[in-house]
A = this chain, B = another copy of it.
Amino acid sequence: MVDFGQRFQTIIEKLKASDHKITPQRLAIAKILAESKGHPSVETIYEQLKNDYPTMSLATVYRNVMLIKSLGEVLELGFPVGSNRYDGNKPYPHPHVICIRCRKIIDPDLTTLQDMTKEVVHKTNFTVLTHQLTFFGICGACKKEERPTETKMKSA
């Protein structure tokens, strides 16, 4: 993971540079985004903050995530099901692999991504600006759990 403190500083600097006020709520949201453990959703961020900031509202979370996204400092994963998820730790487009059982999301480094982008550009004549690559499947841990007592049984 990218250094949290550095990401946080970058976000705050961008906010100041674009003449945005640094409110406690904004600071707290930026902090969570900079860390982005588990690719949080707006709902998740809100839940984490409403104890420390009892008046915090979902609208404020939405507005600030949007603002920081508009500064290019958070990546919207763009999931269609349920609420959107965000990554402020690695704000540039990158692939995700999601376990459909435990909902875990991991960010693999794919060396083949560059080749694929080249192939897209070559075959379509597009100027590629960004992408969303997501693989869905079952992670190693869930595969084990799946057959906890199985030894030599044939599947029915």
Interface residues in chain A, defined as those with a beta carbon under 8 Å from any beta carbon in chain B: 76, 78-81, 84, 95, 97, 99-100, 106, 108-113, 115-117, 119-120, 123-140, 143
| Interface residue from B95, B97, B112, B124 paired with A97 (Cβ < 8 Å) | B124
Q: Are A131 and B136 in contact (CB under 8 A)?
A: yes
Residue of B nearest to A80 (CB): B78
Q: Are A137 and B129 in contact (CB under 8 A)?
A: yes
Question: In whole angstroms, what is the CA distance A123 to B112 when docked?
Answer: 12
Residue of B nearest to A128 (CB): B137
Question: In whole angstroms, what is the CA distance A126 to B140 when docked?
Answer: 6
Question: In whole angstroms, what is the CA distance A127 to B138 when docked?
Answer: 5
Q: Are A97 and B126 in contact (CB under 8 A)?
A: yes
Q: Are A126 and B138 in contact (CB under 8 A)?
A: yes
Q: Are A136 and B130 in contact (CB under 8 A)?
A: yes
Q: Are B119 and A111 in contact (CB under 8 A)?
A: yes
